[in-house]
Chain A
Amino acid sequence: MKNEINIGLGLRRDIIEEFLDREVIQPDFIEFAPENWIGMGGYWGKKIRQAVEKYPVTCHGLSLSLGSPEELDYRFMKELKSFLDDNQVEIFSEHLSYTKCANAHLYDLLPIPFREDAVKHVVRRIREAQDFLERPIAIENVSYYTAVAAEMDEATFISSIVEESGCQLLLDVNNVYVNAFNHGYDAKEFIRQMPLDKVAYIHMAGHEKVSPDLIIDTHGEAIIDPVYQLFDYTASLMELVPVLLERDFNFPAAADLKREMNQLRKIATKHWRKVHVSQD
């Protein structure tokens, strides 16, 4: 991805044809989870190869489980590495969470205790994974619904890990909004505490309010205005990076996704136009 405004869209099986025919949506880049496609042949194997030929690619891992208290899974990392190499993946990101514990995968994002020993441990694992994969990893701030045995705040936890491991940050602005709402802190202040010079790219998404005081990060709704506003604020504080719209289910018409991407492009252009090398 060149030094220009890039608005991407998460590639999902249900809407893959819209990515391939490019009639309505023409994202600047795509993102998908390697776990959903590694070793996939046949019909879907063909589809993903077609998509990779058409677009620049970022990959967003699910199962590396950087926050696990146990060893990294080297057999899986080997497969992951060749997949990332084969598909010319430009940025690889993972969640700052754990999805595996006591030798069992859980397939969802559990919150790591915000503690000093966990910081050191995760830093070591990120370095180990970066060395093995021979590429930087961008770690994503995740939504969490309760902190577990916390001894520091989330912002300190994240920024310590980024600083000490030398990794990059995938800043999910919707997750910041969700966490600020659920845990009663100031979203803008949180953004200011992030190492914004280490951001590799930004995630934007919708969420669902399941009760008056709890939001779940579902990726099944449109982005709400306060999250656009938080993105606007974030972009004003930092340099140009790619921005990705995540939508995992409850897919709207392609035109609606396009509208959301246009809105993101408008905000990005407002702040980052000066470095935007226009092609038209």
Chain B
Amino acid sequence: MSVKTETYQYQNRLADYCRSGKLNGALPLSREEALPQYRRLVFNVVKNTLEQAFPITQQVLTNEQWDELLFRFFLEHDCQTPQVWKLPAELCSYVIENQISEEIELPWLDELLWFEWLEIEVHTMPDIDAGPVSDEGSLLNDIPVLNPEYRLEKLSYPFHLFPVKEAAEKRGEYFVLLYREPESGKVHFMALAAIHAYFIEQLSAGEQTIEELIRDTAEKISSVLPESLLQQAMPFFEELLKNRVILGFRPNENAN
């Protein structure tokens, strides 16, 4: 620290005041009546950012719950990101770390916040190069290239399928794929069966053809024949190709 302790304290007191709305200690001001403007301006930036990011959560909480959550977050949490649009991710972590869902008896709150943030995250995340992709190929026998701009999530509440109140009653195990369409940048959701989530995880390694994947999987499950698994699963892979979750095929190196 290279300002004098006194100056440091004044700077700190003003910042604390902006976070809490309370002034602790002396702060010599030329216009005392203007001080609340700072609390208002600072808090509004945070409030607007979080309300834009979490419209569903804001709607399902009561106004008191929502305001209290924002107030506590900004007071207790030291905001770390220099990029305010990434702040919603810090609210998600804050709520989990402080077990706020339990405290206010809304066990689904952690996940709802996370679910809302995920859409922003997938929409904004840095572009990822998928490597060489060929449009031509066999869905069964060539190695499919997965669109790398996705998140695969396991949820306890099906927020991607039902309105919050309904989803809150259906605790279970759900898988959802969020992916960014490369051309438009739009984010899409896809509800997945557990086995489909497994397929996507395997394909993301970019080493297997779908035929190999099915054969391996059938061996692991042992109660199913590869042929019938293939028949059941093919429409899913075709959908992935159509929706641009599979971008194409890894060009055959020997062909070059």
Chain A residues packing against B (C-beta within 8 Å): 35-36, 38-46, 62-64, 67-70, 73, 76, 98, 100-108, 110-113, 115, 117-118, 120-121, 124, 145-150, 182-183, 210, 214, 216
Contact = CB atoms under 8 A, between A and B. Distances in A.
A69 B1 CA distance: 6
B126 interface: yes
Given A106-B15, A107-B42, 10 more contacts: A35-B83, A44-B124, A45-B124, A64-B82, A73-B82, A100-B82, A145-B34, A146-B31, A147-B30, A148-B10
B207 interface: no
B38 A110 contact: yes
A183 B31 contact: yes
A110 B34 CA distance: 13
Contacts of A150: 28, 30
A42 B10 contact: no
Interface in B22-64: 27-32, 34-35, 37-38, 41-42, 45-46, 49
A106 B19 contact: yes
B15 A182 contact: no
B14 A148 contact: yes
B82 A105 contact: yes
Interface residues of B, number: 51
A63 B79 CA distance: 12
A137 to B, nearest CB: 16
B83 A70 contact: no
A41 B125 contact: yes
B127 A146 contact: no
A182 B31 CA distance: 9
Contact of A147 (B29, B45, B82): B29
A151 B196 CA distance: 67
Contact of A145 (B11, B31, B49): B31
Contact of B80 (A102, A105, A108): A105
Nearest to A35: B83
A10 to B, nearest CB: 17
B27 A149 contact: yes
A145 B185 contact: no
Nearest to B128: A41
A149 B28 contact: yes
B27 A121 contact: no
A84 to B, nearest CB: 14
Given A41-B127, A117-B7, A150-B30, A110 B18 contact: yes
Contacts of B6: 149
Contact of A36 (B14, B83, B180): B83
Contacts of A216: 37, 41
B179 to A, nearest CB: 11
A128 B168 CA distance: 52
A210 B31 CA distance: 15
Contacts of B32: 146
Contacts of A103: 78, 80
